Structure 1
Amino acid sequence: MSYTKEAKVAGAKTKEVLNQLVADLSQFSVIIHQTHWYMRGNDFLTLHPQMDTFMDGINDQLDEVAERLITIGGAPYSTLSEFAEQTKLSDEPGSYDKTIPERMERLVDGYRYLAALYAEGIEAAGEEGDNVTEDMFINFKGIVEKQIWMLTAKLGREPGL
């Protein structure tokens, strides 16, 4: 993809998906952190540290997505207010009244949303000829789908991908 004016315009949809991911990955990291802080019950000792691994994975994706957006001439959201205004993942106050399976379901829903957004990005980047971003989206979609599989297995069912 050359850096002509046409190429920058042609990458507009890819940039839009990348920036949506910046907001949503930021919000999803908070959702995972909330799960980490507010979980109680069976499997706490196993799942509590697992949330650190999940957060690290999402934060690594966030960093790569934002840096890719900058690389192709975009400007990532970078404030809490921008994340809150742009995310499509819901916010809810933390509480101790949810079970661990309910918290895991919320994570599955978040990962499913991200998988769909990565699929949208794959399509956009492919149409716009940005093979590098398309490859990044494909890689992250695979990682997210694995998380869906692992969480749904924990919940006693197949991933349904």
Structure 2
Amino acid sequence: MILNSIGLDSQKTKLIANDLNHLLSNFQVYYQNLRGIHWNIKGKRFFDLHVKFEELYNDANIKVDEIAERILTLGETPLHTFEDFNKQAKVPVGKNISEDEKAVQLIVDSISELLKIERELLDKAGDANDEGTNSMMSDFITEQEKTVWMMKAWLGETI
């Protein structure tokens, strides 16, 4: 086993960085979805949702940066083109969504996909003794589970 300069197995961190790039790609699509629904939302709930969607895209923007910096910390290069993001992303793309319930459902569907990726990363990071990635994924998961709960409650649904 060859350790990198932060004391982690180089082969394992390369695999984790690849998975982080997959997460980064999905977060970029999620971010763009949030921008789109922020811009295009219409109806009686416009004022509340417009503000909420801005809050969510600002948070997603911060997380995108954190993911990219973690990839760099692990010694790899973060993806940074829309072409790369689109090839890897599994988050559904929302186009021209202006209806409140469709917009909120897109958020739930997107975060649900992000959570799957993050849970896989959490397991791999734990196996690699990569506490930095593990901690980041744990924080993301905790926050996003709460967001899903709140969005589902807004939709009148349960988890």
State the TM-score, normalized to the length of structure 2. 0.91
Q: CA deviation at 1:90?
A: 3.1
Which string of whole-angstrom CA distances, capped at 9 and with x for unpartnered residues, describes residues 85-128 of structure 1? 221123353254xx211111111000111111111110010111
2:140 corresponding residue in structure 1 = 140
Cα pair distance change 1:116/1:62, threshold 3 Å: same
CA contact 2:8–2:128 (8 Å) conserved in 1 = no
Cα pair distance change 1:113/1:64, threshold 3 Å: same
Distance of 1:35 and 1:107 partners within structure 2? 10
In structure 2, the gaps of 5 or more residues are: none
Q: CA RMSD in A?
A: 1.9
Distance of 1:119 and 1:12 partners within structure 2? 18
> Which residue of 19, 22, 43 corresponds with 2:21?
19
> Which residue of 28, 31, 44 corresponds with 2:30?
28
SS of the aligned residue for 1:11 comes to: helix
Distance of 1:90 and 1:115 partners within structure 2? 14
CA contact 2:125–2:134 (8 Å) conserved in 1 = yes
State the TM-score, normalized to the length of structure 1. 0.90
The number of aligned residues is 157
In structure 1, the gaps of 5 or more residues are: none
Question: Which amino acid counterpart does residue 108 of structure 2 have in structure 1?
Answer: V
Q: Percent identical across equivalent pairs?
A: 25
Which string of whole-angstrom CA distances, capped at 9 and with x for unpartnered residues, describes residues 10-61 of structure 1? 2233112210111111110001111112211121111111111000111111
